[in-house]
Amino acid sequence: MEWSWERIPAEFVVMNARLCREGAIGRRRGFVHVRKGRVEAIGVGSSSPEGIPALDADGLVCAPGLVDLAVHFREPGFEEKETVVTGSRAAAAGGFTAVVTMPDTDPAIDNSGMVRYLIDRGRDAGLCRLFPTGAVSPGRRGEAMTEFGDMVAAGAVGFTDGSEPVANGNLMGNALKYAAMLGVPIITYPEDRTISGRGVMHGGYWATRLGLAGIPRAAEDAALFRDLELARAAKGHLHVAHVSTKGAVALIRRAKSEGIRVTAAATPHHFSLDHARCRDYSPLTKTNPPLREADDLNAIAEGLADGTIDAIATHHEPHTATEKEYQFDQAPFGVIGLETALAVGITYLVNPGLLDLGQLIACLSERPARALNLPVGRLEEGAEADFVLIDPERRWTVQAGAFASRSANSPWLGETLTGQVAATFLRGRLTWRGAAAPGGN
């Protein structure tokens, strides 16, 4: 039977694909047989089951659906920036089939009703799996603990106060202990606000030259050290949401070697862009933690290569064009990343030889899923058919008008990147088809 993109049947085969599994891309081409939303069979070779509609992938890489451990879908409260629907669409366009949402909405996700609401909204959108996190403290005010047990029962996969780091060490320690009892992590955005103060970019040469207040590395390192020691004492699971400094990479490496239960993620912007990018005062380069120096970028790439850093997470943080048009010191922190993550990884990690493509894909799928114990991220027989077709060589230019996200605050605007998502499938259903998709209708 003929393959048709318009009428994708309940049973089909993706053939002639380079299969990516467990961090390696098979040398021989193979096929994935999908039936009723599940992977019926995976095989190597050009032969595939007869009599089933077949999509000829023509050598594209077929990988597990990508998993993002940190996105901000802004709903409820900031729908002018993003919604669950537009965010899910951006996820699908970036090859993601599962995302972990951050609770910094208004109101915050700090009770089981809000957790259920988000899960429902994600299901209604139907474009990716949505795993919510809950706030550590009501309203993310850092004063008391939220009802972790109730929220876990509703589907929360971890707890964090996000960009309002828990300043009170006693609360953080207790949160780690309590979350450990429930088998979920506390996610930290390590930042000592008394050190970062009014800083708006990395504290270094460029901040000095531009006359902008700096955020020193110590703000991250000192806060992370506290959290690691609290996790050690609590025997809890600490997940580091983003790593921006060489010091933080070293702290996590040592903590892992000492048996502390810590997992960590780094964002595409923190391994690809340095503080010199802020030289034109473009708020599109304003993030927290800030873009740092070459040493830090290298340490993060090494951390990803040796497994110190478990995953790449985008921290997709949409902001409106108006907000990002304020002056650098006044504009909000954050950049979007879902639709560029894979290409930035290929361009800045794979092409220079820091990771191979299989490792990169693992950093975006199996490894993040394992870090947060999410039941996704594997391409194997019997699993749900969440997968992505990737053209790792295709070059494309990032354009503000072309995002599926409601916002376009990308630091890579105008840049030509390598590698593009051709198609994304969730439970065997097409959620995104890009320009790189192979022919046929």
Write out the residues near another protein by the rule CB under 8 A: 203-214, 280-281, 322, 325-330
CB of 208 to another protein, least distance (A): 4
Distances (CA, A) of 104 to 138, 239, 284, 302: 11, 17, 20, 30
User: Cβ closer to another protein: 205 or 393?
Assistant: 205
User: Cβ closer to another protein: 47 or 330?
Assistant: 330
CB of 295 to another protein, least distance (A): 14
Helix (H, G, I), strand (E, B) or coil at 139: helix
User: Cβ closer to another protein: 211 or 439?
Assistant: 211
CA 136/CA 143 separation, integer angstroms: 9
CA 29/CA 17 separation, integer angstroms: 5
Nearest residue to 179 (alpha-carbon basis) of 230, 129, 115: 230
Tokens representing 424 are 């994304």
CB of 282 to another protein, least distance (A): 9
User: Cβ closer to another protein: 145 or 413?
Assistant: 413
User: Cβ closer to another protein: 293 or 339?
Assistant: 293
H/E element holding 361? helix 357-363
CB of 352 to another protein, least distance (A): 26
CB of 167 to another protein, least distance (A): 18
- Residue 411 DSSP class: T
Tokens representing 249 are 């990479």
Distances (CA, A) of 291 to 89, 145, 215, 284: 27, 32, 10, 11
Q: 132 with 106: CB under 8 angstroms?
A: no
Q: 122 with 91: CB under 8 angstroms?
A: no
Amino acid identity at 111: N
User: Cβ closer to another protein: 257 or 327?
Assistant: 327
CA 358/CA 44 separation, integer angstroms: 17
Q: 323 with 77: CB under 8 angstroms?
A: no
CB of 204 to another protein, least distance (A): 6
Q: 39 with 32: CB under 8 angstroms?
A: yes
User: Cβ closer to another protein: 47 or 208?
Assistant: 208
CB of 407 to another protein, least distance (A): 16
Give me the residues paired with residue 54 across strands: 13
User: Cβ closer to another protein: 211 or 353?
Assistant: 211
User: Cβ closer to another protein: 211 or 382?
Assistant: 211
CB of 224 to another protein, least distance (A): 21
CB of 278 to another protein, least distance (A): 9
CB of 93 to another protein, least distance (A): 29
- Residue 364 DSSP class: T
CA 262/CA 255 separation, integer angstroms: 7
User: Cβ closer to another protein: 41 or 195?
Assistant: 195
Amino acid identity at 156: A
CA 269/CA 154 separation, integer angstroms: 33
Tokens representing 187 are 């996610």
User: Which single residue is written with the structure tokens 């996700």?
Assistant: 109
Helix (H, G, I), strand (E, B) or coil at 393: strand
